Amino acid sequence: MGAMWMRMKAHRWAYTLSILATLAVGILIGTIVSSEVKGKEGQSGKSEVTPLTIPSSSSSGGNAFSQQLSNAFASVAKQLEPSVVNINTESTIKNPHRRGGGQGDDDDSGNMDDFFNHFFGGPGQGGQNPFGQGDGSIRERSLGSGVIVDPKGLIVTNRHVVEKADRVRVRFQDDPPGVQHDAKVIGTDQETDLAVIEVHVDHALPAAKMGNSDSMQVGDWVLAVGSPFGLSETVTAGIVSAKGRDIVPGRQFQTFIQTDAAINPGNSGGPLVNMNGEVIGINTAILSETNAYAGVGFALPSKTVVEVYNQLTGPEHRVSRGSIGIMFDAVENPAIARVYGNGSGVTISSVVPGSPADQAGLKVGDTITTVDGKKVTKGAELVADIAARRPGSKVNLGFVRNGKSQDTAVIIADRAKLFAARLGEDQENDEENSPKPSKFGVIVRKVPPEMADRLDIPQGKGVIVQDVKPGSFAEDVNLGRGDIILEINKQPVNSEDDFARLESSLKSGQDVVFLVRQRGSTKQDGTIFLPGTLP
């Protein structure tokens, strides 16, 4: 028994020692492994780690299609970048706290400057840097883009980029830092928001090639080139998202190419190009709640750009468009055709008194069906055809009245003359026939019925400010183009005669308080007082 106990005790000790030995070896091995790992972290371990490498620039990455597309993007960007310029403008802002100035078409559903304030944050974009003047005004610097279209120095950009600028300067791709070239505005077109500027240099400039916007299809790849936020030589890629997009109701000469290529403030005036490196549009606007890229941008088609450019660079430096003086429902409505029983065509809703259409005997309710024998079914087709004709030329119109087909000859008139009031500016610059600014320094007119309806203003109430003279009393009290004056010193202003009568009754030193519905505001926004003392 005692011997057995001794053998069991000895066996237990041996077992315990074996476990301890195993643990010791395990701890030792772990220590060694840990030491080796730490040693590899602290040392390079070059003999066991494969160095990283990058392929040569000529090697292809990804599949063949993606590499081919990438190469195409790079080729187009390299080709176009030298033709794209940075435009720097300086302008004097008399009343820096006044929102949105500029000129616009007061007859549309919104002024053009309101439109660009919404889409691009105001005239000029990117890199705005206002600085004060001694007279309380400020000098504002803005950036935009442009594209060289003639080696002699002719550049296309947006009108709102150079509008009302005191100084326009251009920087080319290869210019050293700080070097800029003064540019002259050759001509602008309000209705398409295009402008042509010119820079004089002693060498030929790299001009971009114009492409055919009509050949583009939804889904085609495009690149946008410009200076967003002042970052020159920026290229973004996308596709044509839509064509023929009307984004400003009533603007008959602005149908845009929609793209998802990133366009931001500062891109305005730069080119949208196809994969052949051809300019198929001029980047003009974005749809965004933040004034920055949100996936929807708009470019004016090259077909329109070329037509406007050729006229702006002509002897008169202005765009002449034909018109016969009619209006029609911009939104096609089958109910009109059914009620009037005229079938396909453009039904006249209004005839301008004394216009060519009026003189030719056309009346409200007539439906125009042909132009020189060519069938027309949409208002846009009719406008495009008539606008392209030279004022003074003759056109034969076929129309239907009370179910009977008739025709008449109409002499084309200059649209600018017929619709100067609706356009909100005298495009003829006829100083002798233009109304002169009043004592207040403004030109006013009756509120158009369609605008009164849109702003919920009773018919016959108020006058709209058509123009404001710089440095005038009206500008001092912050009256601006498009504002609607409802009262002066508690007296209603319902016509130009009311305005003139109240204005003439006021003398230097008297207080003047305007009750105004500001441009772009709605009934919910209410009205405001604009007070001042007549100098």
Q: Which of 213, 268, 302, 472 is catalytic?
A: 268
Per-residue pLDDT reduced to its tens digit, 487-513: 999 999 988 889 999 998 998 889 999
- Asked if 60 is an active-site residue, the reply is no
First to last CA, the chain: 132
Per-residue pLDDT reduced to its tens digit, 272-314: 999 999 999 999 888 766 666 777 889 999 999 999 999 999 9
Query: What integer pLDDT is reported at residue 47 of this predicted model?
Result: 63
Query: What integer pLDDT is reported at residue 46 of this predicted model?
Result: 53
Residue 58 predicted with pLDDT over 70: no
Per-residue pLDDT, averaged over 463-479, amounts to 85
**Cα dihedral angle (396, 401, 403, 409), rounded to 10 degrees?**
-10
Per-residue pLDDT reduced to its tens digit, 376-389: 888 878 888 898 88
Cβ–Cβ under 8 Å, residues 387 and 415: yes
Q: Which of 189, 193, 426, 498 is catalytic?
A: 193
The sign of the dihedral angle between the CA atoms of 99, 105, 106, 111 is negative
Residue 109 predicted with pLDDT over 70: no
- Mean pLDDT (the chain) is 76
Residue 140 predicted with pLDDT over 90: no
Select the more confidently predicted residue: 387 or 431: 387
CA distance 368 to 400: 7
Q: Which of 91, 160, 355, 426 is catalytic?
A: 160
Give every CB contact of residue 37 below 8 A, 6+ residues apart in sequence: none
CA distance 34 to 464: 85
| DSSP 8-state secondary structure symbol assigned to residue 52 | P
Confidence of residue 476 (pLDDT cuts 50, 70, 90): confident
| DSSP 8-state secondary structure symbol assigned to residue 407 | E
Q: Which domains does the chain have, with CATH numbers?
A: 77-312 (2.40.10.120), 322-413 (2.30.42.10), 435-533 (2.30.42.10)
> What whole-number percentage of the chain has pLDDT above 70?
70
CA distance 378 to 289: 32
Query: What integer pLDDT is reported at residue 403 of this predicted model?
Result: 84
Confidence of residue 53 (pLDDT cuts 50, 70, 90): confident
Confidence of residue 227 (pLDDT cuts 50, 70, 90): confident
Query: What integer pLDDT is reported at residue 502 of this predicted model?
Result: 92
- Tell me which of 328-332, 392-396, 503-507 is least confident: 328-332
CA distance 71 to 344: 49
Residue 428 predicted with pLDDT over 90: no
Query: What integer pLDDT is reported at residue 422 of this predicted model?
Result: 47
* pTM of the predicted model as reported, rounded to 2 decimal places: 0.60
The CA-based angle 115-118-121, given to 5 degrees, is 110
- Tell me which of 223-227, 267-271, 442-446, 508-512 is least confident: 442-446
Confidence of residue 443 (pLDDT cuts 50, 70, 90): confident
- Asked if 97 is an active-site residue, the reply is no
Select the more confidently predicted residue: 421 or 432: 421
- Tell me which of 28-42, 155-169, 184-198, 500-514 is least confident: 28-42
Find where tokens 């519905």 sit. Answer: 517
- Asked if 268 is an active-site residue, the reply is yes
CA distance 253 to 531: 39
Q: What is the CA radius of gyration of the chain?
A: 35
Per-residue pLDDT, averaged over 220-244, amounts to 89
Closest CA to 209 of 315, 302, 72: 302
